Structures are given as structure tokens and as C-alpha cells.
Amino acid sequence: MRMTVLTSGSKGNSTVIASAETRVLVDAGLSCRELMKRMAMVKEDPSALDAILITHEHQDHVAGLSVLARRLRIPVYFSEPTHRAWVRQMTPRTTMTYAQWLEHVQKEKEARAALDAVETANPEMCEQSSSVQMEAASAEGEEEDAPEAAVKRDPASLPAVEYFQPGTSFCIGDLTIAPFTTPHDAADPCGFVFESATESIRMALATDLGYMPPNVRSALQRIDVLLLESNHDLEMLKDGPYPWAVKQRVLSRVGHLSNDATAEFLARDYDGNATYIVLGHLSETNNVPELALLSAEEAIRERGKLLGNRVLLAQQSEPLASICL
């Protein structure tokens, strides 16, 4: 199994998780072009991706989502409230009652089915037209590969949408995915635990959480590779340039984990099972990578007996070399 963090931090988050047969992207928080560039840098073939999974609708997790999903023609997995919040974000002038929303989802499904029918009937024509559009897209850095006008007009249209519910596991290929609810100021935020049926390896992502509630602590047991938030240094945040309201938001129970909170989890609740702990979602303004690293390493050292537990730092500016187990 493999984890490749393409980017992590307040300006964008995106990670590839791959098993023997399945490859998914968790979040798409940079432009499509930048994500493609980063995948090329670490030799992750974008065309081999089976799906995109979204933790929550904040911009640093979805910035390149629609363009990337349409370009790769792969399904996007959301919780329903997250999908709805994302659609509203993409179409801010549209107000929608819940009944209208259901109708919208139904119409989209029908449009996609119609599109699929056309493509199945004329595979050659579609391949041709999509490759032409792909070329045009790479020239512009944007793409519009849906031949149907209705789909084109809708900035929130996706090749396919699948829903999951935090707390309920689901499968994509040979990956079992357990989404767990995180405390964060979004519609229905979650983290993920990935397990490969054939390799009995478990990898988890837990960023964007204000504190470590019991459900997250128990989800993060027996993890081999753990991407864990270590967002800010408390003193730097308090003395830093953010406006008061933003400081309050970050510090709140629906904000982000501080280095201290992460260290507390590692020292008290973490089971010491991981081969790698990757610290992520570091604030560029209110943290220093060395501080986050030191704080986590000290916390783990206090556990004494632990082997493995190599601590790595995910970067905003460049991908982290793939972690393979």
C-alpha cells in the first residue's frame, strides 16, 4: 500500500492512497494543473485514479475538484451534506430548498445517464472529441469535456457522484474505507481510514479537527501510516498577525489541532503502532516545521518502548516522497 502526500497545509491538501488494485485521491485542494504536475513529479499516474474522495468543502480541499474530476472522468465520493455545501459554494447565486436540491440531484443523474448513453452508442466519436478537448484544455489549463450544454453550464457538474456516510465503511475496489466524523466548521467533515483487503495495512488521514474526540481517537488505532494535523504553535498563533476572530476560529473546538494537542494525543492516546506518522496541515504563518516535528517526536519518545514511529513532515510547496508499506 502507498500514501503520497501531494500537498498539505492551509493553501491546499491532496493525497494519493493506493493499494494493489485501487488508487484514490483524497481532496483536490490545488488547481487541476498543479495537481497533475505534482502527480507527475512523484510518478503517480492520474489516469490510474479510480475516484476522488472529499473530506469537507473548504477551499483548501476542493479548489481543483470539478476540473480534475471532469478531466479524469472519475467519480467523486462525498457525504451528502458536503456535496450539497460544495454545490452551493460553486453556484452561490442559486438558493435552493431541500426539495429543489433533490430535484437537482435527480436531473443531474438523468443528464449523466443520457450522456453515458450517447457515449456508449458512439464510442469513437466521443473518444475523438474528448481527446481534442483534452488538448485544448491543456493549452488553457482548464477543460470543458462534457459535450452536453446543460452539464457545461453547471460549474458543479461532475462525471459521477457517490455518497458515503461518516461512521459507515464502504469499498472501492480492494480498498475498504472507513470515514469518521471530525469536529470542524464545515457541513459534515470527516477523516478516513483505508485498509487493503489483501495487504492488511491501514493508513489514515486526520486533519482539520478542532480537538481529538473519542470517535477519532478510536478510529486512529492500529494505523500503519498516519497523516495527522499539527496546524499551529499556540504562542505563534496568539502573537501572530491573524485578526482576533480568525484566531478564535482556529483555536476553537471546530478549528485546527495545535502542535500541543497533537503531542497530547501522541503521548496519551496513540497506540504506538504506526511505522510512519506524517504531520500535516501546518500553518505557514503560525507554525515552524521544526517546532511541530520536535513536539511530536518528544511526545512519542515519552512512550519509551515504541519502535517505528518515524515522524515526517508533509509540505505545502512540494510532494512528499511516496510512503510504501
- Least distance (Å) between residue 187 CB and Zn ion: 11
Query: In the numeric block, which cell numbers belong to residue 261?
Result: 494537542
Separation of alpha carbons 296 and 279, rounded Å: 8
Nearer to Zn ion by Cβ, of 44 and 60: the residue is 60
- Least distance (Å) between residue 222 CB and Zn ion: 25
- Least distance (Å) between residue 76 CB and Zn ion: 17
Nearer to Zn ion by Cβ, of 61 and 112: the residue is 61
- Least distance (Å) between residue 50 CB and Zn ion: 23
Stretch 170-209: interaction string toward Zn ion, x if CB under 5 A: --------------------------------------x-
| Residue 60 touches Zn ion, criterion: CB under 5 A | yes
Stretch 16-55: interaction string toward Zn ion, x if CB under 5 A: ----------------------------------------
Nearer to Zn ion by Cβ, of 70 and 281: the residue is 281
The CA-atom distances, in angstroms, between 100 and each of 92, 94, 103, 318 are: 15, 11, 5, 42
CB 286 within 8 A of CB 319: no
Nearer to Zn ion by Cβ, of 46 and 280: the residue is 280
Query: In the numeric block, which cell numbers belong to residue 151?
Result: 452539464
Q: Which residue in the block uniquely carries the three cell numbers 451528502? A: 80
Separation of alpha carbons 138 and 141, rounded Å: 5
The piece of 60-68, 88-96, 135-143, 289-297 that touches Zn ion (CB under 5 A) is: 60-68
Of these, 2, 33, 38, 58, which contacts Zn ion (CB under 5 A)?
58
- Least distance (Å) between residue 60 CB and Zn ion: 4
CB 288 within 8 A of CB 231: no
**CA proximity to 160, closest of 50, 8, 28:** 50
The CA-atom distances, in angstroms, between 257 and each of 5, 84, 198, 236 are: 19, 26, 33, 14
| Residue 232 touches Zn ion, criterion: CB under 5 A | no
Number of helices (H), then strands (E), belonging to the chain: the values are: 12, 14
Question: Which residues contribute to the site for Zn ion (CB under 5 A)?
Answer: 58, 60, 208
